[in-house]
Copies of this chain bind each other. A is one copy, B any other.
Amino acid sequence: MKPKLTLKKIAKELDVSISTVSKALRDSPEIGEETREKIKAFAKHYNYKPNNIALSLKNRKTKTIGIIIPEIVHHFFTTVISGVEKVANEMGYNVLVCLSDNSFDKEVLNMEMLANGSTDGFILSLAKETMQKEDYHHLLEAINQGMPLVLFDRVIDQIACDKVIIDDVTGAKKAVQYLVDLGCKNIALISTVDYVSVGKLRTKGYRETLEENNIPVNEDLILKIEEMEDSETEIKDFLKNKEIDGIFAVNEHFAISAIKSIQEQGKKVPEDVSVIGFTDGELSKRFIPSLTTVSQHGMRIGEESARLLIEKLERTPTEEDYYKTIIVETGLVVRNSTKSKK
């Protein structure tokens, strides 16, 4: 086990000064050709790699970006990570991934851990608990310390920073309109509680579409779920004895639970009931019947977030500060959980 090679060791070995070694390796014209070649040959031969920690300290930047997500089980978030990774690595950045487990405290803790030098900036999707508490002091603090912040997916208006979102309202509208066009008259909505912005916005799209089509909104057909754990039984109860021919669910899991319940009732999907989910994950593809979903392009979201963040990181400090919000459009992926259009 040989300890890592440093400039100092090279310098001693070749009997020159540290500065000379540093300059030679960076191709400074100050150094004579002979010495330069000698040093470079030596460094290459012994596989010298500069120590990133020292560089970070010197440059006051780490070339890594932190991404904090509420949960990794959602396939959506994993595709976002891939997108961030892709762009970040292209630009020479590392990516540090942390999980908040939807807990406010863990989110704060994670940010504090990363803010003390580990990271140049953040990409994050807020924990459910955070949105509930509406306590954003940790975000403000980061911004205040000059750490750029990009919010994605679960964002809030109150914070001034770059944001990458999908158009939830329009996405929901596409889905519900599709159901209406299919001839559905009684369309149920299975959503999350309103403090998750996603739930609120998709609900909005649902309502607006119905109104636009002169279909009265029946509050009995709207279910708001608080706890993921109980969702399956809640949905089952909700669908009991209801006359519906269409369901719009705000995520895969709800959609699938709904289909199961429908089938247990002896009805068929899509013949009797058409179901559309949100978020195009592995489940949607593989489930039988495969799910018609609103697809949000996680990869794109990750890429855009990373680009936004790195842009902020690399701009000269004099440049004007202004914040962008990028909207990544959604698509409707039609599969087998909806009737085919005639």
Which residues of chain A (177-222) have a CB below 8 Å from chain B?
none
Bound Cα distance from A53 to B113, whole angstroms: 11
Cβ of A341 within 8 Å of any chain B Cβ, yes or no, is: no
A82 CB within 8 Å of chain B:
yes
Provide the residues of chain B in CB contact with A64, threshold 8 Å: 96, 118
CB < 8 Å neighbour of A288 from B81, B98, B118, B260: B260
CB-CB < 8 A to A146: which residues of B?
Answer: 1, 3
In whole Å, how far is A313's beta carbon from the nearest beta carbon of chain B?
14
Are A116 and B2 in contact, CB atoms less than 8 angstroms apart? Answer: no
Known contacts A51-B116, A72-B78, A145-B2, A97 near B94 by CB under 8 Å:
no
Candidate in A49, A117, A263 with the most chain B CB atoms within 10 angstroms? A117
**B49 close to A53 (CB less than 8 A):** no
A235 at the interface (CB under 8 A from B): no
- Quick check: is A287 within 8 A (CB to CB) of the other chain? yes
Contact A118:B97 (CB < 8 A) given known A3-B146, A144-B2, A283-B283: no
- Chain A residues numbered 73-115 whose CB sits less than 8 Å from any CB in chain B: 73, 75, 78, 81-82, 85, 94-99, 112-115
Contacts of A342 on B, CB cut-off 8 Å?
A: none
A56 within 8 A of B: yes
308-338 of chain A: CB within 8 A of chain B: none
B287 touches A117 (CB 8 A): no
With A64-B118, A72-B78, A99-B85 already in contact, the answer to whether A286 and B288 are too (CB < 8 A) is: no
Measured in the bound complex, the distance between the Cα atoms of B49 and A113 in whole Å is: 10
Chain B nearest CB from A140 CB (Å) reads 11
A282 within 8 A of B: yes
A-B contact pairs, 26 of them (CB 8 A): A1-B145, A2-B145, A4-B145, A49-B115, A49-B116, A53-B56, A53-B57, A53-B117, A56-B117, A57-B57, A64-B96, A73-B282, A78-B78, A85-B98, A94-B98, A94-B113, A95-B96, A95-B97, A95-B98, A253-B286, A256-B286, A260-B288, A263-B288, A286-B287, A287-B287, A287-B288
